[in-house]
Structure 1
């Protein structure tokens, strides 16, 4: 499974492990970064996986024309969608605690995905492509709409996780949070981008939006006191911006045809799958915009 890496669960006499073949865009330092942050978070009592070392002490193995790594398999269960809103409150509270911990952690990253969550850069790169009739409408919409959503300059930054989709959270059988996965995207950015990315994915149900999912996550986040320092208008703007940033990334790969994994059982090509993904994100943004006034009022009331 996985949109980027190829990932397997291994059951062995020594226990369960997760093996990954890294996407070529990543180099070994991404795992070194993840291991350092994971060790620090675990020392603070926040559960994240640890990577295993090879016999020579390295965190990677080059094999079968790829870069491989293995990590421990934490106990708990992943869910593609939350069984009930309590799971999202748990996830929101976990993010609040994570942000409090990472605000105290200083680290200089050795690896960063080039221009990840750099919305202005992605928008400018998209402008360099000449759209065909097949994608003209999507290209026009994104080029004209995204600049209206850029966040103000000068917003404080800190280390964030940057990929808090719901299936990166582990829960026990009672629905309690027990672990956070995916250590490859930690970076310095603002909390509106972090929350926007999380809440976009949590509220998405196909091409529709469940506002209650967003509010459940924010209720959990508010339990840690973090919500008081944030502006409700910018939280909503961050969700809208990150939704169209993802649409731009999918459309970018429609032109370049090299990045996202795709489903050959559902689509004839990567380009076809990426265009479908792009259109889905645009429709999600439109659904979000339709309920924005009511959602903003609810966020203010938390």
Structure 2
């Protein structure tokens, strides 16, 4: 067997941090050992150095098949595999490509070891991108996400995982208020306070979002969770650990926030791309025949709400210093990295607010 270390996405990653010890031979040896639970003896293991949460290897088996082996982050409970299995079976039955869990020898969807929970998924061939380069890519991204949502419109199975919704702007605002109050002596407390005040000023300019139906959503629709063909066609949504039911405008707002910021999340020099937004929105709406008028009408405001929500999260972590990963090669501390991120998201919101009247 041979071992390869790989970066599948050549472009700079928005939040992926340099790994310190994930390439250890000991970790790869652990990955090789756990494959015995699936009776797999790999020809090669290729460490995929681009995930933020889980550790992933591409496994090439002696039979020529490829798989994705993952060791899950401890923040994820094993019950998510029931959700992934149910959702991917539903999607596959509707003719859409999707990674599928591979059962271990005993039929289990995952394997527990002392070093964590492991799973094996089918491997889908294609290309990942870290950011959109042009309107054609944006249109394909929108269409792919719409097909994913369309395939799940009639999915009625309750979710086994009972996690709190990630998008709760009011709660995030309260979390930031608490962080400000709890870190009076922090060297960046004044900067965090400025960001808080400006964020609240912008939020006060936004109308509340309408009440809309809860939809089955991906939960993390950033562009590098989408697989494309070499010709640029959207093929499949991957990284399905955030599945759940959510108001659709929140899901789309998060997608457009991420897709339409060419500078990425590690820069203060952000700006909202109207060209990418209009192409992505058009690609989505051309496919998503289920969408209601209320959902359609608030997509711009939802993008603003989610952008400012993330601003509050980055600002809170300037002070709390415990959640988001950070890049020690570019920043002196997690707090300084989060300061740049928060400023970048705030500027992105200001950029979108400036063009909001033109977007309909």
The answer, yes or no, to whether TM exceeds 0.5 is: yes
The aligned runs of 1:31-50 (5 Å cut-off) are 31-50=81-100
Partner of residue 69, structure 2 = 19
Rounded Cα–Cα distance in structure 2 between residues aligned with 1:135 and 1:89: 36
Instruction: Give the SS at the match of 1:223.
Output: helix
Which residue does 2:225 correspond to in 1? Answer: 168
Q: Residues of 2 paired with 1:100 and 1:118: CA distance?
A: 24
CA contact (8 A) 1:221 1:227 kept: no
Q: Does 1:137 align with 2:194?
A: yes
Native 8 Å contact 1:112 1:185 kept in 2: no
Where 2:359 maps in the other structure, the secondary structure is: helix
Give 1:278 deviation, angstroms. Answer: 1.6
Give the Cα–Cα distance (whole angstroms) in 2 for the partners of residues 258 and 12 of structure 1: 38
- Match for residue 276 of structure 2 among 194, 208, 213: 213
Quote the Cα distance in structure 2 between the aligned partners of 1:9 and 1:269: 32
CA deviations over 1:46-79 (Å, ceiling 9, x no partner): 2111122333332333346332322222111111
Secondary structure, aligned partner of 1:205: coil
Give, in whole Å, the separation in 2 of the partners of 1:159 and 1:149. 26
Structure 1 residues 259 and 67: CA distance shift in structure 2, 3 A: farther
Q: Is the 8 A contact 2:56 2:71 kept in 1?
A: yes
SS in 1 for 2:287: coil
CA offset at residue 144 of structure 1?
4.4
Show CA shifts across 1:143-198 (max 9, x none). 44435546345322221112111111111121112211121111111211111111
2:349 is equivalent to residue 249 of structure 1? no
SS state at 1:239 partner: helix
Which residue of 1 is the match for residue 247 of structure 2? 190
Say if 2:154 is the partner of 1:90. no
**1:64 and 1:272, CA in 2 relative to 1: closer, same or farther beyond 3 A?**
farther
In 1, Cα distance between equivalents of 2:207 and 2:217: 19
When normalised by structure 2's length, the TM-score is: 0.75
TM-score by length of 1: 0.89
Count of aligned pairs: 296
Equivalent runs, 1:221-260 vs 2, <5 Å: 221-224=284-287, 226=289, 229-231=292-294, 233-260=297-324
**Aligned mates of 2:286, 2:92 — CA distance in 1:** 21
Matching residue within 114, 117, 121 for 2:164 = 114
Tell me the residue number matched to 1:299. Answer: none
8 A contact 2:250–2:306 mirrored in 1: yes
- Say if 2:142 is the partner of 1:78: no
Tell which deviates more after alignment, 186-195 or 63-72. Answer: 63-72
Structure 2 match to 1:272: 336
Range 146-155 or range 106-115, more displaced: 146-155
State the distance in 2 between where 1:86 and 1:210 align: 14
- 1:135 aligns to what SS in structure 2? helix
- Counterpart contact for 1:19–1:68, Cα < 8 Å: yes
In structure 2, what is the equivalent of residue 300 of structure 1? none
Query: Do the aligned residues in 2 keep the contact of 1:31 with 1:59 (CA within 8 Å)?
Result: yes
Once superposed, what is the RMSD of the aligned Cα atoms? 2.2
Q: Distance in 2 between matches of 1:150 and 1:2?
A: 35
SS at match of 2:190: coil
Query: Rg bigger for which structure?
Result: 2
Relative to structure 1, is the Cα distance of residues 216 and 3 closer, same or farther in structure 2, using a 3 angstrom cutoff?
same
8 Å CA contact retained: 1:204, 1:284: yes
Distance 2:57 2:327 in 1: 17
Deviation string, structure 1 residues 248-288 (Cα, Å, up to 9, x no partner): 22223333333323222222333322222122111111111
Residue 4 of structure 1 corresponds to 53
CA contact under 8 A between 2:148 and 2:237: conserved in structure 1? no
